[in-house]
Structure 1
Amino acid sequence: MTEKFLEGKGALITGAASGFGKGIAMAYAERGAKLVLVDVNEELLEETSNKIKQKTNQKVIPIICDVSKSDQVKNMAKQILKEMDNIYILNTNAGVGLNFGKDIIRIDEERFDRTLEINLKGQWLVAKEFARKMKKQEFNDTPLSGKIICTASIAGMIVDAKLPAYSISKTGVIALMQLLARSLAPKITVNSVSPGYHVTGIYNNSEDAMIMTMNEGNVKTPLNRLGTVKDVVEVMLFLASNQSNFITGHNIPVDGGIAEIGVPPYYFKSDV
């Protein structure tokens, strides 16, 4: 039987309609959390919300919001804090990977800006709007008032020349996480998770596209397989649990070992 360790708590996940966000949301609901699911894809968000409600019988509030827009984030936070005053878990997960395959010199400015606005600025805006309220909360089963979990990436640890703007944004997410951890201690823990090569929407949910990307860069995982959404969800569950209460300011790679062995240097050669 699944332990309901999030019962009586709320969890907000951005980028929740698909991929990691969808998996995280389902897992939290199964552990008893009431959910706020945030995404820009209205149709997919409604589908995911209904599926989770039907399977878990938990309260799910779907919210359409572009996390890169401060006015939308403020309105979203205002609405949610009226309906749910116990957001304990904040997963800043929304992200995009644009301009795949283009060298850093060749990226167009619009897509460079858009990538950083969603992946980095978006996480900051959401954390900023909810952190102040979270710090004032109290729960009976934990000395903490909340947990923030940021989705970073292995590309933020070992830059990916085929995703330069994405790499820059995710490096920034890791720095943002560390700054938030310092600022919000001791009541709120803040950590990040860095997935490696996982089949998600960033790669159009295509295992073939993922394998091609790895082959082009001669990238191998020591565990010799692609990651799954479940691999990431299990770490997110740990960080949401009381077992992780003494962990803050850390980035946890879930990458099959790529961060340990590194990416071959010739992967970064440029023809500019």
Structure 2
Amino acid sequence: MEPHVTSSDRVALVTGGAKGIGRAIVQDLSQSGWLVAFCDTDREAGEQLAATDRRHIRFFQGDVASETDVERVVAATIEWAGRLDALVNNAGIANPETGPVEQLSLAQWQRRLDVNLTGPFLVTKHAVPTLRESRGAIVNMASTRALQSEPHTEAYAATKGGIVALTHALAMSLGPDIRVNCISPGWIDTRAWQGGKDPVAPLDADDHGQHPAGRVGEPEDIAGLVAYLISPAASFITGQNFVADGGMVRKMIYRE
């Protein structure tokens, strides 16, 4: 069903929206009345999600590392909905582990840069003209790994650190027409949002208890923050990195 877009409709484009945090964002926004286009490389998961609400949701298969795909997805979104009010650059290779740096291949390094960092640049580049018309907002997805690290995660950490820097650079370049912020999630339990058929075992008390907030994060926690940052209520906020990790980045951890 094609949407009948009115002047009061709001339109968002979410990258990497088929599973995990992206899926939660798509569902949260669509349930709030947004028209939501999303892209993903996973056709099966994307079509399954779009089928849940054909009035508000539209899926376009594409890889954010491909400028050809990005141009097509942005153009198709505007053709479908007629405008664009928000961009959520969520797509990324989520696995941070790439092994010892001396064994890290250039291909592994480059693929993570292409998807996690170049991808948000490309989508932003092609969405900016339409976002400027609507005085819209952009939210990029970084990570607490931009601020702290475990061993053997150099490529992933570098891309997420780049997202934080890209965010404040874009905020300066695109303001006041477009606001740009990013979110750095900590441990978000996305297992139930990955499309698997097997039941998900609950996390144990230690998993939750180590967080100052008392629990591991859920995709809905990030979706709610995205919804706020692209809303008029956040009109004075730009260039910021919002850490959503249950307080872990502020926790001093030493072996006793």
Q: How far apart, in 2, do the equivalents of 1:164 and 1:8 lie?
A: 41
Q: How far apart, in 2, do the equivalents of 1:124 and 1:158 lie?
A: 23
Q: CA RMSD in A?
A: 2.7
Higher relative contact order (CA 8 A, sep 6+): 2
CA 1:263/1:112 → structure 2, altered by over 3 Å: closer, same or farther? farther
Residue in structure 2 matching 1:196, options 186, 205, 209 = 186
Does structure 2 retain, via aligned residues, the 8 Å contact 1:99–1:107? no
After TM superposition, the structure 1 = structure 2 runs for residues 237-248 of structure 1, keeping only pairs within 5 Å, are 237-248=227-238
Does structure 2 retain, via aligned residues, the 8 Å contact 1:99–1:111? no
Q: How far apart, in 2, do the equivalents of 1:249 and 1:263 lie?
A: 29
- Residue 207 of structure 1: CA displacement? 7.5
After TM superposition, the structure 1 = structure 2 runs for residues 103-182 of structure 1, keeping only pairs within 5 Å, are 103-137=100-134, 145-182=135-172
Q: How far apart, in 2, do the equivalents of 1:28 and 1:150 lie?
A: 16
**Structure 1 residue 66 corresponds to structure 2 residue 63:** yes
After TM superposition, the structure 1 = structure 2 runs for residues 1-272 of structure 1, keeping only pairs within 5 Å, are 8-53=9-54, 58-98=55-95, 100=97, 102-137=99-134, 145-200=135-190, 220-261=210-251
Structure 2 gaps, min length 5: 1-6
Q: How far apart, in 2, do the equivalents of 1:97 and 1:69 lie?
A: 18
- Residue 37 of structure 1: CA displacement? 1.1
Structure 1 gaps, min length 5: 1-5, 138-144, 267-272
User: Number of paired residues?
Assistant: 243
Which letter does structure 2 place at the counterpart of 1:109? L
The residue that corresponds to 2:4 in the other structure is: none
CA 1:210/1:96 → structure 2, altered by over 3 Å: closer, same or farther? farther
Q: How far apart, in 2, do the equivalents of 1:236 and 1:7 lie?
A: 19
Which letter does structure 1 place at the counterpart of 2:108? R
TM-score by length of 2: 0.86
Q: How far apart, in 1, do the equivalents of 2:216 and 2:96 lie?
A: 22
State percent identity of aligned pairs.
26
Does structure 1 retain, via aligned residues, the 8 Å contact 2:13–2:77? no
